[in-house]
Amino acid sequence: MELSRSMNEPDNLTLPSGAPARLLRWAHDSIAAQLGGAPARVPTDPWCRQLAATFVTLYRDDGLHGCIGSLRATRPLVDDVRQNALAAAFLDPRATSLILDDLPRLRVEISLLSRLQPLAFASESELLVALRPGVDGVVLRYDTACSTLLPQVWAKVASPSEFLAELKMKAGLPRSFWSDRLQIERYTVRRYVDGEELVDG
């Protein structure tokens, strides 16, 4: 049975003061432990057990190392961050090999997702008008195809149409693809980088 957030929970969970830095350290320490470093100490505060959906993005020097995440809140926050941090470090196809000495070169970014919100639209033009540049993360589903782009990707595209085209390509669909069976959901994120909260939506 899949767990989900209670309908009484906020759409975008907010961490208390000091929690982002601890969560980022937990991600770093989890990767270090996997590489033979000291065992990571699990945060045990009440906020750690809230169900949450997160993406963990790792940067190595100035380039992307890996990015893996969850779209729905099915695990406690600390478990979701740990699993996504390890997946971004070791399982993302873009990730290169890591040793313990590489960890100072890794920068961690954690995106805390809101609940997914389905979008209603009758055409591609209506969908493009509904998208909020710089704010929306978007999930695309078509039959068995599925993809998502975080709100951070808006900084790399010129328009909503280009954002949507990139989303289609990530799902393995042509850039010009359209179908009435296309399903779109959006979400917002709170980003945490080196202990500093960057609110995108």
Does residue 31 surpass a pLDDT of 50? yes
CB 105 within 8 A of CB 133: no
Domain with residue 148: its CATH number is 3.30.1490.150
Residues 96 and 110 in one domain: yes
Note down the domain range covering 97.
Answer: 19-114
pLDDT band at 25 (very low <50, low <70, confident <90, very high): very high
Report pLDDT for 2: 28
Write down which residue in 92, 114, 136 finishes a domain.
Answer: 114
At residue 119's C-alpha, the angle toward residues 118 and 125, to 5°, is 155
Report pLDDT for 15: 86
Give the number of domains in the chain.
2
Per-residue pLDDT tens digits for 89-133 = 999 999 999 999 999 999 999 999 999 999 999 999 999 999 999
Report pLDDT for 11: 55
CB 34 within 8 A of CB 58: no
Percent of the chain whose pLDDT exceeds 70:
91
134-137 long-range Cβ contacts below 8 angstroms, 24+ apart: 134/200, 135/188, 135/200, 135/201, 136/186, 136/187, 136/188, 136/201, 137/111, 137/113, 137/186, 137/187, 137/188, 137/189, 137/201
Mean of the per-residue pLDDT values of the chain: 90
Residues 64 and 132 in one domain: no
Residues 121 and 106 in one domain: no
Q: What is the DSSP letter of 143?
A: T
Write down which residue in 69, 89, 114 finishes a domain.
Answer: 114
Residues 123 and 107 in one domain: no
Domain with residue 24: its CATH number is 3.30.700.20
* Arithmetic mean of pLDDT, 4-32: 76
To the question of pTM greater than 0.95 for the whole model, the response is no
Phi, psi torsion values for 125, nearest 5 degrees: -65, -40
What is the Cα–Cα distance from 188 to 86, expressed in whole angstroms?
Answer: 23
